[in-house]
């Protein structure tokens, strides 16, 4: 008896496999995260993110140019200030490092690339939380909203085409949309970190931006509990109602069910953030010779797209774009 079904026919050659592939990965599917530090003369390597640096304005501009040559057309900026304070005022200072960098990139690439700004206070606060604290030391949701609105305006003025609030305050998208519209920035896009989980995968990022949460604290009082799936939909729907143009799921590979839910239930673009710890794990195992890091990067990024992400924020953007271009 011959089998009637022969799925293997379509797997015989790499050309056939490419022809029938359900999911594609292109350099333009990536957003590259970049760190820019105030008051440095040289770019500083980030140990736990091999290949990544705290950039100077100069090295940042070169990196963005090199990404553009590889077909990556979107970047998201994180500022690392020289000094921090209680409220995180460096986040909205017109001469704060993120704003200086945004202006430099706007002058270099304008609208040829999509320039995004991460919108949060944790890099700028002494206590390392994503908002301001009340008298009891808890993050004050509503007082933080005003500071996010001010920060969004500073970023839009400096040239951000997209602002990406990542602090998980309730009502943050509405507050930012209102402030942007009132100041004439009706075309500034909001990409909401809608379903952002309190994850152990952010460790290398915190090294990259020099953030330590005061008293060994964590963000479980505002980021989502990884035990919950339905809650992500509720968060994302709320963000879309408030005016989010794009919603994001973060981290990515351990949250593919969430990516899939949001893609199915919502009509806005869905982004997934393949975070610092996901990158670091692949890199570390690769460096030990325990697995093929390039192959695993492709597998993970493709799986994230297969689950439903329209595009991916990833530390692999530059190197995988190069692999794809070969």
Residues 259-298 that bind ligand PBG (CB under 6 A): 275-276
Whichever of 108 and 189 has its CB closer to ligand PBG, that residue is 189
Q: Does 46 bind ligand PBG (CB under 6 A)?
A: no
Q: In whole angstroms, what is the distance from residue 106 CA to residue 111 CA?
A: 7
Q: Does 122 bind ligand PBG (CB under 6 A)?
A: yes
Q: Least Å distance between CB 120 and ligand PBG?
A: 3
Q: Which stretch binds ligand PBG (CB under 6 A): 92-100, 114-122, 151-159, 178-186?
A: 114-122
Q: Does 118 bind ligand PBG (CB under 6 A)?
A: yes
Closest Cα to residue 313, out of 248, 226, 240, 217? 248
Whichever of 150 and 183 has its CB closer to ligand PBG, that residue is 150
Q: Does 30 bind ligand PBG (CB under 6 A)?
A: no
Whichever of 277 and 308 has its CB closer to ligand PBG, that residue is 277
Q: Least Å distance between CB 276 and ligand PBG?
A: 3
Whichever of 38 and 122 has its CB closer to ligand PBG, that residue is 122
Q: Does 132 bind ligand PBG (CB under 6 A)?
A: no
Find out whether 249 and 174 touch, Cβ atoms under 8 Å: no
The yes-or-no answer on residue 84 being catalytic is no
Q: Does 235 bind ligand PBG (CB under 6 A)?
A: no
| Contacting residue, 92, 202, 255, 316, with ligand PBG by CB under 6 A | 202
Q: How many residues bind ligand PBG (CB under 6 A)?
A: 10
* 79 CB-near residues (< 8 Å, 6+ apart): 35, 36, 37, 38, 90, 91, 96, 97, 98, 101, 123, 124
Residues assigned a catalytic role = 196, 250
- List interacting residues with ligand PBG (CB under 6 A): 118, 120, 122, 130, 166, 202, 205, 219, 275-276
């Amino acid at each position: 008896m011959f089998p009637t079904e022969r799925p293997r026919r379509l797997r015989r050659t790499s050309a056939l496999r490419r022809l029938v592939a359900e999911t594609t990965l292109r350099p333009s599917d990536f957003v590259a995260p970049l760190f820019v530090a105030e008051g440095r003369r040289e770019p500083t390597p980030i140990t736990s993110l091999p290949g990544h640096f705290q950039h100077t304005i100069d090295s940042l501009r070169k990196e963005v140019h090199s990404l553009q040559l590889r077909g990556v057309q979107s970047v998201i900026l994180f500022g690392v200030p020289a000094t921090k304070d209680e409220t995180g005022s460096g986040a909205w200072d017109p001469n704060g490092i993120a704003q200086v960098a945004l202006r430099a990139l706007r002058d270099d690439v304008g609208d040829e690339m999509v320039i995004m700004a991460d919108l949060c206070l944790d890099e700028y606060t002494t206590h390392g939380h994503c908002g301001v604290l009340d008298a009891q030391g808890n993050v004050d949701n509503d007082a933080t909203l005003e500071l996010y609105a001010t920060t969004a305006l500073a970023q839009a003025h400096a040239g951000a085409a997209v602002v990406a609030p990542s602090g998980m305050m309730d009502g943050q998208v509405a507050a930012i949309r209102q402030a942007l519209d009132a100041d004439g920035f009706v075309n500034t896009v909001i990409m909401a970190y809608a379903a952002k989980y309190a994850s152990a995968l952010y460790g290398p990022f915190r090294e990259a931006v020099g953030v330590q949460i005061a008293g060994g604290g964590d963000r479980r009082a505002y980021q989502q509990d990884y035990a919950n799936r339905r809650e992500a939909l509720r968060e994302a729907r709320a963000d879309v109602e408030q005016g989010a143009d794009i919603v994001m799921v973060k981290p990515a590979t351990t949250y593919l069910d969430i990516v899939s839910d949001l893609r199915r239930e919502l009509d806005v673009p869905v982004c997934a953030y393949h975070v610092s710890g996901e990158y670091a794990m692949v890199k570390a195992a690769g460096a030990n010779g325990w697995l093929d890091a390039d192959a695993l990067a492709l597998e993970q990024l493709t799986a994230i797209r297969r689950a439903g992400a329209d595009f991916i924020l990833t530390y692999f953007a530059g190197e995988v774009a190069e692999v794809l271009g070969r």
